[in-house]
């Protein structure tokens, strides 16, 4: 590959501009050295024809389950990173609910060692709040911080004991660590498998009430308000929960939050004939929740979009609805599905997509965004809105395919992913 790459005729997407300006981009040695209407590229430059395409900063995902160590039958760090690249993502934060759970500096280092060998993109590992995610004793927070964890979380479970959580917040504040909260009152969720309401009653499936999430969410933010800690609310699903976050933000509490593509796009009605691809935790809520969560994303209540990429084997997902595990893959599909449903239709623009799925996720983890500007790093994607993407089993790079998008064809395709001036993907 040439040291010089000339991206010719593309339209540049930026977080601070709704306008896509047609400009050439010249990259040399991993840096963007020129962005202009007409670039005179030196002889020998590799030319990438971007006519009709969008050139955007590469995405970053703060909520990913790679399953390694312990469940490599579902996913590995290598396959997870390839799925990320396939979806235009060049960095991600892994959740610690593996086997064993990542609750010490030594275990963090073991994952980072695997990632250094197997992943073509940088990976950050989060650590547990409590030992073994059991909710009883604090994990080795100082040791994990020394290994570079940006976040601590017991994701998959809430910290049920409020005193344990309060102590964790006081301790994490000393290290300037974010606590990422899975909000759920287990006693209210019980053995539920979907949102509790008219649809769950009709299908005969035990339900999980929205208040299970909302009560815990309110408690966690109130503790953050009391301690001054930084909390990040994961995968918000209900409009009432979102409004609680909005109110606390207005009061100045250090709270950020995320929304997933599937909680924007799907709701309880999509479960239809007990399709386990729509089973996730927290569950899909109502169409009204979809509408209000989407508006909150546009309004800026949600800081980031994150996939909560949660792969499972086909055997597991082929169980009956109640027995099947919660979770949906998302790395391969997120960017294209968001373009297809929202950007192409004019509901929101590339500026919002770049801000919430590229720039703000990096800022949340104390990283610099990667805008397509002169002097910036060459960490970008080329997206062709005129092509289509069919999410076949062969197309997707994740080891698992538990997604409602399986075998669906959507508008738009990621044709190139570049990092450090090298093509990670080039279709």
Taking alpha carbons only, the member of 112, 118, 46 closest to residue 423 is 46
Taking alpha carbons only, the member of 158, 142, 153 closest to residue 95 is 153
Distances (CA, A) of 266 to 26, 72, 261, 281, 338: 40, 28, 8, 13, 12
Q: How many residues does the chain have?
A: 427
First-last CA distance in the chain: 15
148: phi > 0 → left, psi -120 to 50 → alpha, else beta; which? left
Q: Give the active site residue among 289, 308, 384, 411.
A: 308
Taking alpha carbons only, the member of 132, 52, 49, 124 closest to residue 94 is 124
- Tell me the three state secondary structure of residue 67: coil
Residue 308 designated active-site:
yes
Kind of pairing between the strands at 17-28 and 59-64: unpaired
Angle at which helices 287-299 and 239-250 pack, to 10 degrees?
A: 30
**For residues 293 and 267, is the Cβ–Cβ distance under 8 A?**
no
**For residues 281 and 211, is the Cβ–Cβ distance under 8 A?**
no
- Tell me the three state secondary structure of residue 361: helix
Active site residues: 308
């Amino acid at each position: 590959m040439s040291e010089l790459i000339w991206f010719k005729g593309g339209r540049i997407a930026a977080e601070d501009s709704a306008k896509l300006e047609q400009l050439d981009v010249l990259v040399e040695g991993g840096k963007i050295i020129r962005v202009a209407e007409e670039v005179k590229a030196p002889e020998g430059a590799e030319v990438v024809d971007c006519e009709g395409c969008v050139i955007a900063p590469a995405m970053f995902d703060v909520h990913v389950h790679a399953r390694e160590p312990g469940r490599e039958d579902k996913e590995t760090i290598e396959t997870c990173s390839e799925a990320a690249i396939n979806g235009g993502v060049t960095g991600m934060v892994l959740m610690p609910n593996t086997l064993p759970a990542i609750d010490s500096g030594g275990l963090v280092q073991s994952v980072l060692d695997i990632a250094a060998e197997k992943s073509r993109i940088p990976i950050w590992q989060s650590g547990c709040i409590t030992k073994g995610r059991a909710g009883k004793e604090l994990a080795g927070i100082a040791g994990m911080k020394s290994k570079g964890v940006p976040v601590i979380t017991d994701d998959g479970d809430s910290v049920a004991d409020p005193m344990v959580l309060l102590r964790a917040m006081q301790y994490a504040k000393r290290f300037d660590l974010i606590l990422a909260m899975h909000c759920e009152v287990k006693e209210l969720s019980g053995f539920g498998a979907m949102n509790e309401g008219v649809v769950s009653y009709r299908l005969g499936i035990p339900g999980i009430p929205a208040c299970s999430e909302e009560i815990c969410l309110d408690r966690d933010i109130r503790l953050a308000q009391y301690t001054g800690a930084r909390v990040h609310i994961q995968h918000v699903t209900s409009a009432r929960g979102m409004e609680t976050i909005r109110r606390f933000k207005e009061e100045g509490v250090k709270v950020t939050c995320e929304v997933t593509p599937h909680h924007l796009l799907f709701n309880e009605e999509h479960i239809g004939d007990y399709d386990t691809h729509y089973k996730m935790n927290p569950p899909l809520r109502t169409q009204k929740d979809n509408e209000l969560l989407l508006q909150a994303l546009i309004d800026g209540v949600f800081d980031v979009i994150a996939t909560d990429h949660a792969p499972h084997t086909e055997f597991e997902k082929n169980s009956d609805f109640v027995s099947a595990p919660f979770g949906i893959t998302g790395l391969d599909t997120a960017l294209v599905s968001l373009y297809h449903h929202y950007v192409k239709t004019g509901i929101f623009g590339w500026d919002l997509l770049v801000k919430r799925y590229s720039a703000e996720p990096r800022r949340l983890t104390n990283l610099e965004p990667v805008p397509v500007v002169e002097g910036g790093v060459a960490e970008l994607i080329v997206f062709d809105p005129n092509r289509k993407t069919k999410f076949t089993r062969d197309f997707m790079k994740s080891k698992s395919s538990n997604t409602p998008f399986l075998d669906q064809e959507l508008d738009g395709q990621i044709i190139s992913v570049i990092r450090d001036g090298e093509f990670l993907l080039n279709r």
